[in-house]
Amino acid sequence: MVQRNHSNKNIIISFLTLLMMLILPAWVAAAPTDEATNVSTNKTWTITFNKAVDPISVNLNSVYVLDQFDVKKNGTITVSPDRKSVTIAPPVEGYNFSNTYTLHITNSIKDESGKPLSSNKQKKFTIETPGTYDIVNIASDGTTSFVKSYDSYENALTNLKSSQGIQYKDSLVKIPSGMVVTRAHASNVLTNIYSDKQLTKPVTYVISNTELPYISSSDTYVEVNVAGKNMFISQENSKLIPENALTGRSYYSVSNSELVHSIYSTSSKTYSSYQIGAAPDFMTAGQKYYSVDGTHFTNTSEQEIGTSYPYFEYLSARSKTTYTAEEIDAYISAMLLKLESDYPNNVLYQQAAQKSKLIGLGSYLKQIEETQHINALFILALAQHESAYGLSNRAQQYNNLFGLYVSDNNPLAKYFPTVESNIDELIKAFINKNYLPPNAGYANGAVFGNKAIGINMKYASDPFWGAKAAGHMYRIDQMMGGKDSITKYKLGITNTSGLNVRTGPGTEYTAAYRYTKAGMPITILDDNLPEADWIKILSDSADYEELYIHRDYVQEIPVK
């Protein structure tokens, strides 16, 4: 509880630690005497205020950490955008094991009106003691038994047998094989995924309890497979599960000629499933299949059986649907009535055909398709996925069909005056600004994609967000007669980095933009040009409709 000061002019602060929150007494009271113990070596402190502070007054002289020799030992100090909190990072090398430090907040910190804190405040904290690295045997049922302790990971690794694992503070940090389940660390539910072992180059992120195939590990990182690419996450965000301890595993299967993904939860030991699209011809009903990226499949014996890309997951958002506004409106009405009929006892779907925020959007979606060059069904599929068919609380109360400005760590209730203004915000502030233009900050391909390609890399923490949204687009098309599936575009993937995408079929034409990395998804408009070495593609940039790439740098992909 916060003790109120008799004067409301003073700033009240609190420490938000990784594992606990300590709210300081009123400024007129004595400094706190309790001491935090067993603090992590990479501890970041956050100080929160009841007033916005003057950021100029927040510096190494007004807030800092001293070691036992009165030497400053903190890292970067950052003021939050609202100026009501300050974070103090640990030193680059981390705090030393078993050492005691003191966090100082001085009255040099001022609020925006220039009023300082009434007194200095201090907080002592002691860093955890180092643990031992224990070699363990891993039994056939996944249980472990202690073998021997070592004072360093390197010493344990030197003596490790191929069938054994290494534990640190009762957590496995190395296993022969198995899976990794991501876990929250401190107040952050997200796990950053990096391209380097040093964990300095973030590529994407996933939510807690995401299952990833284990490749290797050290005492600081875990190498995992993310959508077909080997990348790295922190040990702090990892729970390693040996192969023998796995009680279930995510898989793909065929149901009614459609591809179904069943995701296993290690915490609840249950499966949840969703439909992606049409099943590849090489799959058989009643069989299980595995895939790390949803395109390259093996059987349960880990033998490769085929490759197939879900069409709507890899179709450019710049494409156009063949359906009219009237057909889209008719679909929305039919879909909502179907939800009412199929789930009569579900409160969410009751009176769906009267209250959904999707009703009557056909004309506006087609208008956006023409003016902003975003497929109308692409937007509708995203709205269905993010807003439970326009029936979610955010859709109903805030006209927010897409969860805009809502993150895993900050579920902001952002209001929009109309659903049309919400769609405008999605297109102008997100999709057409940051995701589709080739040189935009989050550009990884103009498709729904996954955690290695497309919008999914930076838009959503769910690694299967792209596949789920594509599943909605597939079902929309199927319910309206499947016209978009019948008249498929050809799709491809680039195979080289630094690839120029030109305004005409030849090197003499200007480059409209460049793909800096290989593996970019493209939608092919014509691969039978008079200029045989060139193919016509759909532009990722809204400034062009059609562009050209040399045939040698594109691999057509099989779609279903």
Q: How much is the average pLDDT of 512-539?
A: 97
Name the residue with higher pLDDT: 400 or 28: 400
The answer to whether the CB of 474 falls within 8 A of the CB of 311 is yes
Fold assignment, 133-245 = SH3 type barrels. (2.30.30)
Please name the helix (run of DSSP H) or strand (run of DSSP E) that holds residue 307, with its range, or none.
strand 304-307
> What CATH class is the domain 13-127?
mainly beta
Element (H, E) at 380: helix 376-387
Tokens coding 387: 């807003």
The residue type of 85 is S
As a three-state string, the secondary structure of 346-360 is CHHHCCHHHHCCCCC
- Token readout for 115 is 């009023």
pLDDT of 117 higher than 90: no
pLDDT > 60? residue 78: yes
- Confidence (pLDDT) at 25: 32
Nearest CA to 185 among 88, 44, 35, 47?
A: 44
3-state helix, strand, coil in the chain (%, to 5): 20, 30, 45
Q: Are strands 121-127 and 36-39 parallel, antiparallel or unpaired?
A: parallel
**What whole-number distance in Å separates Cα of residue 414 and Cα of residue 227?**
32
16 pLDDT higher than 60 = no
Give the tens place of pLDDT for each residue, 166-213.
Answer: 999 889 999 999 999 999 887 678 999 999 999 999 999 999 999 999
Domain edges within the chain: 13-127, 133-245, 253-306, 314-480, 490-556
Q: For 264-321, what is each residue's pLDDT tens digit?
A: 998 899 999 999 999 999 999 999 999 999 999 999 999 999 999 999 999 999 999 9
Residue 291 pLDDT? 97
**Cα–Cα dist 231/235, whole Å:** 13
Q: Which residues contact 300 (CB under 8 A, 6 or more apart)?
A: 287, 288, 289, 290
pLDDT tens sequence across 376-427? 999 999 999 999 999 999 999 999 999 898 776 556 678 999 999 999 999 9
C-alpha span between 498 and 484 (Å, rounded): 32
Do the strands 296-298 and 202-207 form a parallel or antiparallel pair, or are they unpaired?
unpaired
Asked whether the predicted pLDDT for residue 8 surpasses 80, the reply is no
Q: Which amino acid is at 288?
A: K
Q: What is the CATH number of domain 314-480?
A: 1.10.530
Say how many residues make up the chain: 560
Give the predicted TM-score (pTM) of the model.
Answer: 0.80
444-465: string of b/e by CB count within 10 Å (b at 16+)? bbbbbbbbbbbbbbbbbbbbbb
**Interval 320-360: pLDDT, tens:** 999 999 999 999 999 999 999 999 999 999 999 999 999 99
Average pLDDT for 232-248: 94
| Residue 240 C-beta-side C-alpha neighbours within 13 Å | 31
Tokens of 311: 């069409």
Of residues 454 and 27, which shows the higher confidence score?
Answer: 454
Taking only Cα atoms into account, the Rg of the chain, rounded to an integer number of angstroms, comes to: 27
Out of 119-123, 180-184, 507-511, pick the least confident.
Answer: 119-123
Q: How many CB atoms lie within 10 A of CB 176?
A: 15
Helix (H) or strand (E) holding 259: strand 258-265
On the question of a common fold for 314-480 and 490-556, the answer reads no
* Residue 402: closest CA among 380, 370, 417, 374: 380
Could you give the strand order of the β-sheet that contains 229-234, starting from the edge strand earlier in sequence? 202-207, 190-194, 229-234, 221-226, 211-217, 178-182, 238-242
User: How many CA atoms within 13 Å lie on the side-chain side of 251?
Assistant: 17
CATH topology of domain 490-556: SH3 type barrels. (2.30.30)
116, with CB counted inside 10 A (0-12, 13-18, 19+), is middle
296, HSE (Cβ side, Cα atoms, 13 Å): 9
Assess contact for 499 and 515: CB atoms under 8 A. yes
* Euclidean distance between CA atoms 200 and 197, whole angstroms: 8
Q: What is the mean pLDDT of residues 508-526?
A: 97
Mean pLDDT within 50-72: 92
**Burial of 74 from C-beta contacts in 10 A (0-12 / 13-18 / 19+):** buried
